[in-house]
Structure 1
Amino acid sequence: MAQLTLTAFMTLDGVMQAPGGPEEDRSDGFTYGGWSVPFADEEFGRFVDEMFERVDAFLLGRRTYEIFAAYWPKVTDENDPVAGRLNTLPKYVVTRTLDRADWHNTTLVTGDLVEEVTRLKQRPGREIQVHGSARLAQSLIRHGLLDELNLLVHPVFLGAGRRLFPDGGTPTAFALTGHRTTSTGITIQTYRPTGPAQFGTFALDR
């Protein structure tokens, strides 16, 4: 049974919109695209390479799919750890607007999200990875469908932009299963859900 994992580049205030460039996603008037680029270093690159070594398929939102499909097919080095997998492995795109997808080995997911994702996870394999895809990620969190979250928190505050965590959903506790810090201050935190959130009080004993 495959594990569904999410990798998200985030700012200190939780923004994950357009980390890779100014033109990546200007929706809702967002003008701070490319905020992740100044923090990229060797440790960041090593983590990305390690992550892509574990993937057997990708689950993407429509906007992220279009960004990836416009860029990665142009990287033709089969030994590139990112391009080699994105260009060949199965890609499932959650969409209500696309009626075709030309990138090799791409399937459109247009039915009920919970049913479709549950079906994908029941297939044999290691990881089905979600990258970016903010709206899809929010829905997966809301429905408790993720098995692991990799949060790459960058030391920058933007004050605007689409954030990762949604309002609503079931309060859930997570275990920190891995962490590292890069030379530029990115904290890479890996979490796995452990069950319902627990609550208590710091009231003094009487």
Structure 2
Amino acid sequence: MKLVVQEFLTLDGVSQGPGAPDEDTSDGFTRGGWFVPFVDEEFMEIVDGWLAQADGLLLGRRTYENFARDWPAMTDHPNGAIMNGLPKYVATQSLTEAHWDPTTILAGNIVAEVDALKRQPGRELQIHGSARLAQSLLAAGLVDQLRLAIAPVVVGRGRRLFPEGSTPAGLRPVSQHTTKAGLSVHVFDTAGLPSYGIYEG
């Protein structure tokens, strides 16, 4: 399977709390919900197309707990059956039981376990949110594609997808689209390490 990371970001790179003020208030973050004003039907069609390619979801503990709380009750949502039916894999050292079937807990060597999952037949294993998990797997060279939806807003603080000290990564643009509501949607394939040069214009 191809490992795909899907993230919502601000223009200053923050990935924390896109969906609601109380979604993730860790480290005193009070500026959640910044993504919501830019979600429209056009973007939802893009997301639906992405989800249709998934054969599994790989999530960090916090994202998993939020999804496991909300999605089982969303039976009337167009994507409810897909989200609830897909195999879920949660990377965690603290959860011992999962209550959102079908879920497998990955509690050992996460890099090795994800590498083994990628070797299984299928289309995409998708990471939704879960920025810390995405960072660690990008650093390990396991991520095949990044799908970034960037909102035209600067929040000035919060957890970033690429914080200071992130592992360098080269990316190859696949597509770019700006929605009517203003989201800039970029798709990149990973391409090893960055290239460097000297400008001689």
What's the TM-score, normalizing by structure 1?
Answer: 0.94
1:14: how far off?
Answer: 0.3
Partner of 1:10: 9
Letter in 2 for 1:36: F
- For the residues of structure 2 that align with 1:4 and 1:33, how far apart are their CA atoms? 27
Whether the aligned pair in 2 keeps the contact of 1:134 and 1:164 (CA below 8 Å) is: yes
Is residue 83 from structure 1 mapped to residue 80 from structure 2 by the alignment? yes
1:184: how far off?
Answer: 1.5
Q: SS where residue 156 of structure 2 aligns?
A: coil
Partner of 2:190: 193
1:172: how far off?
Answer: 2.4
Partner of 2:52: 53
| Partner deviation per Cα, 1:141-185 (whole Å, 9 max, x = no partner) | 221211000000000000100100144464322111011111121
Alignment root-mean-square deviation, CA = 1.3
Q: 2:112 aligns with which of 98, 112, 115?
A: 115
Letter in 2 for 1:29: G
Partner of 2:158: 161
CA shift in 2, pair 1:166/1:140, >3 Å: farther
The aligned length equals 201
Is residue 92 from structure 1 mapped to residue 89 from structure 2 by the alignment? yes
Q: 1:180 aligns with which of 165, 177, 180?
A: 177
Q: Which runs of 5+ in 1 are unaligned?
A: none
- For the residues of structure 2 that align with 1:4 and 1:61, how far apart are their CA atoms? 14
What's the TM-score, normalizing by structure 2?
Answer: 0.96
Partner of 2:129: 132
Letter in 1 for 2:103: T
- For the residues of structure 2 that align with 1:170 and 1:23, how far apart are their CA atoms? 30
Q: Which runs of 5+ in 2 are unaligned?
A: none
